[in-house]
Chain A
Amino acid sequence: AQSVTQLGSHVSVSEGALVLLRCNYSSSVPPYLFWYVQYPNQGLQLLLKYTSAATLVKGINGFEAEFKKSETSFHLTKPSAHMSDAAEYFCAVSSPNFNKFYFGSGTKLNVKP
């Protein structure tokens, strides 16, 4: 069975501050892990993905995530938040043979001036 837990439905940071969005997964097989971003009134856009290569994954817009098997985590970070980062972020898990995605409940990021 596979599942994803995102801690914190809302996160608020100041512009220029570190962004940390948490994701923990449960998977009985080696997982594929993804972060998607959803801007207001838009669909989901892929930020980055982990598919068993390097454990530190760099994505678009300066975001990165680190796969930590011992912690079953895949937290999303960005060193310095921009106002344009305000959006909802979803973590998702799949596996090479499972062919289905499971999404977390989402974390809304608010960036304060």
Chain B
Amino acid sequence: DADVTQTPRNRITKTGKRIMLECSQTKGHDRMYWYRQDPGLGLRLIYYSFDVKDINKGEISDGYSVSRQAQAKFSLSLESAIPNQTALYFCATSDAGTGGQETQYFGPGTRLLVL
């Protein structure tokens, strides 16, 4: 969905490096989410934010941090990347709270490889 964009689309980094994945949306939604996808495990929630001043940990937040710079922007950081953080990362927004029925809209994903 072009309304949710993620940069970069692909990233290779080394163990111990700090990296940031960025997400922007033009849907006007308050709620934003970061997931990681691993083969056979589906999507697991890392962090979520219901508005600019609200940040919540998901299932697997250890080793990650987030920043909600504006309603439209939600960044995910790996403070010190490790190989088991190699995964496909998705950003999503939700229309809940804006009269919608809790549908999530996903970005195209960022494929991260940690060497």
A interface residues with partner B (beta carbon < 8 Å):
6, 9, 32, 34, 36, 42-46, 49, 51, 90, 92, 94, 96, 99-101, 103-106
Contacts and interface: CB of A to CB of B under 8 A. Distances in A.
Interface in B26-48: 31, 33, 35, 40-45, 48
Interface stretch (B14-22, B68-76, B77-85, B100-108): B100-108
B103 A100 contact: no
Contacts, number: 55
Contacts of A104: 42
B96 A99 contact: yes
Interface of B: 1, 4, 31, 33, 35, 40-45, 48, 50, 58, 90, 92, 96, 101-109
Nearest to A52: B101
Most buried by A among B40, B101, B107: B101
Q: Which 7 A-B pairs have the closest CB atoms?
A: A43-B106, A103-B43, A105-B42, A103-B42, A44-B106, A43-B108, A51-B101
Contact of A43 (B31, B96, B107): B107
A42 B103 contact: no
A46 B103 contact: yes
B106 A49 contact: no
Contacts of A101: 33, 45, 104
A46 B100 CA distance: 14
